[in-house]
Amino acid sequence: MPVAPEQSDLRVSAIIPTYNRADYLREALSTVFAQSLEPWEIIVVDDGSTDHTQQVIQDAPGPVRYLRQANRGVAEARNGGLEAARGNLVAWLDSDDLWEPEFLATVVPLLAQDEAIAGAYTGVTMIDADGVELSRSVRVETPEKLYDVLIRNCFLATPSIVVRKACYE
């Protein structure tokens, strides 16, 4: 029978890839720092931005690991962040996305229940640049419905997922 890890043994690496989104990045970072359960580390991977992204990192209200690379696209930026991550859980946040204050506090305890749980997710609300709600994800009540919704809609949004880093290794 799998053993439940202690929640204190779970270290979240929040990884934020970005490219020329300094103003959005500032807001995204503010939602990471506002988490009721703080991530163990925050990594921003700058994919060759030409705006003031580096200044946003310097002005952040707490420590951020800043990795800069030549512009190679978001997939390479994500992979660079994953490679640099020192936590055993990975939480992705695109630089134009936001987390609710209880996001990590909601998801991490689920992963603490059993080492066999590879990842966990929450619902999402899609908003426009003015904060107007565009759509919400559906609530999944059963494993059968999850399979159906994944196949038909593929609704899992990047910023709603936390996965064990070992799944990527």
**Beta-carbon count within 10 A of 108 CB:** 20
Q: How confident is the model at residue 129 (pLDDT cuts 50, 70, 90)?
A: confident
How many CA atoms within 13 Å lie on the side-chain side of 121?
18
Average pLDDT over residues 68-75: 96
Q: What is the pTM of this model?
A: 0.85
- CATH annotation of 7-168: 3.90.550.10
**50 three-state secondary structure:** coil
pLDDT of residue 64: 98
Q: Show me where the domains of the chain are located.
A: 7-168
Bigger pLDDT: 91 vs 147:
91
Q: Please give the structure tokens belonging to residue 107.
A: 């998801």
pLDDT of residue 118: 92
Bigger pLDDT: 34 vs 141:
34
* Spatial separation of the C-alpha atoms in residues 160 and 142, rounded to whole Å: 18
DSSP for 128-161, written as a single string: -TT--EEEEPPPP-SHHHHHHHHHHH----GGGE
What long-range pairs does 67-75 form, CB within 8 A, spacing at least 24? 67/43, 69/45, 71/19, 71/47, 72/47, 72/48, 73/47, 74/17, 74/19, 74/47
Average pLDDT, the chain: 87
Q: How confident is the model at residue 134 (pLDDT cuts 50, 70, 90)?
A: low
Q: List, for residues 9-29, the tens digit of each pLDDT value.
A: 899 999 999 999 999 999 999
Residue 139 has pLDDT above 80, yes or no: no
Residue 153 has pLDDT above 50, yes or no: yes
* Spatial separation of the C-alpha atoms in residues 90 and 5, rounded to whole Å: 16
Residue 144 gets the label, from left (phi > 0), alpha (psi -120 to 50) or beta, of alpha
